[in-house]
Amino acid sequence: MTDPATGRRTVVVTGAGRGLGEAMARRAADDGYRVVVAELNEEWGSRTAAAIREAGGAAQFVPLDVADPHSVEALAARVAVAGPVYALVNNAALANGVGGREFQDIDVETWDRLMTVNARGPWLVAKHLLPLMAGPGRIVNIASDAALYGSPRLAHYIASKGAVIALTRAMARELGERGITVNAVAPGLTEVEATATVPAERHALYAANRAVSRPQRPDDLVGLVSYLLGEESRYLTGQVIAVNGGFTMH
C-alpha cells in the first residue's frame, strides 16, 4: 500500500483545490501521506499540490470531474501508475449558491446536476479506485449536517448528502471483510469560499444554535479526518460523525 518512489501511502482527496478539501489534503500531507489532489479547477488544484510540495510534502495534481465517468476512469489510470491507493476522501461536491428555493420550485436540471455530482460522484470515484485498494484501507465520504438537520430551501442538496450517508453504510457493509473502513463526516456551516453566498439568516441560525458559538473553520474538521485515515480507527466503520459545534446532536 506504499508508493515505492516516496515510501508514503497514497491518499486521494477529491475537490482538494480549496476550502475543506484543501485543508484535508494539506493535513494528509502533514501526516506523511502522498496526496493526490483531484480537482476540477486546474488552477486551484495545481496551487494546492505545489503548496504541499513547497512545505516538504508529496503531492500530485490530477484533473477530475466527478460528473464525467471518463474523467474518473482517467484519474484511476493515472493514480495506478504510482502504485496502490491506501485511502480516498470523497469531498468534491456542489455547495455554493445552491440554496434559496423551496423543493417544489427546484427545476429538474438543477436537481439532476446536484445528484450527479454530490451523490453519484462519490460512488463513481470509489468504484474506480477500489481495484487499487488492496486493504487495509480507508474511505471517508464528506456529507453535511444539513442532511441531519433538514435545512429548509435546500432539498436537492440535502437529498444528495443524505444519499452519501446511505452509500457510506452500504459500502461499509460490503468492504469490511476486505479490511477497508468507510465512514462519513458531516460538517456544519464552515467559513470557506463555498459558503460565501450562504444567506445571512442561515449563518445566524447556526450561530444561535451551536453549543460552541464561534464560526466553524476548516481546521475544526481535519483532525477527525486524520483520525479516520489512521490506524487507530481500524475498527470504526459505517458511522456518520457530525462536526458542527453541537448544532446537531445525535
Q: Could you tell me which CATH number the domain at 2-187+219-238 has?
A: 3.40.50.720
Q: Per the confidence metrics, is the pTM higher than 0.85?
A: yes
pLDDT of residue 92: 97
Angle at alpha carbon of residue 164, lines to 221 and 39, rounded to 5°? 65
Segment 225-244 shows an average pLDDT of: 97
What are the C-alpha distances in Å from 118 to residues 138, 143, 174? 19, 9, 21
Q: Taking residues 84-108, what's their average pLDDT?
A: 89
Q: Is 36 helix (H, G, I), strand (E, B) or coil?
A: strand
**What's residue 114's pLDDT?**
95
Q: What percent of the chain has pLDDT over 70?
A: 94
pLDDT exceeds 90 at position 221: yes
Looking at residue 6, what is its pLDDT? 60
To the query of whether residue 86 is one of the catalytic residues in this protein, the response is no
3-class DSSP state of 10: strand
Instruction: Find the catalytic residue in 33, 149, 157, 206.
Output: 157
pLDDT in tens, 180-218: 999 999 998 877 766 666 667 777 778 888 999 888 899
- pLDDT of 171 > 70? The answer is yes
Cα gap 69→197, rounded to integer Å: 29
Q: Which position has the grid cell 461499509? A: 172
Distance separating alpha carbons of residues 59 and 61, to the nearest angstrom: 7
DSSP 245: T
Q: What does DSSP assign to residue 120?
A: I
- Model confidence at 14, pLDDT cuts 50, 70, 90, reads very high
Mean pLDDT of the 161-174 span = 98
Integer CA distances (angstroms), 167 to 68, 71, 142, 183, in order? 19, 21, 11, 10
- For residue 60, list its beta bridge partners: 36
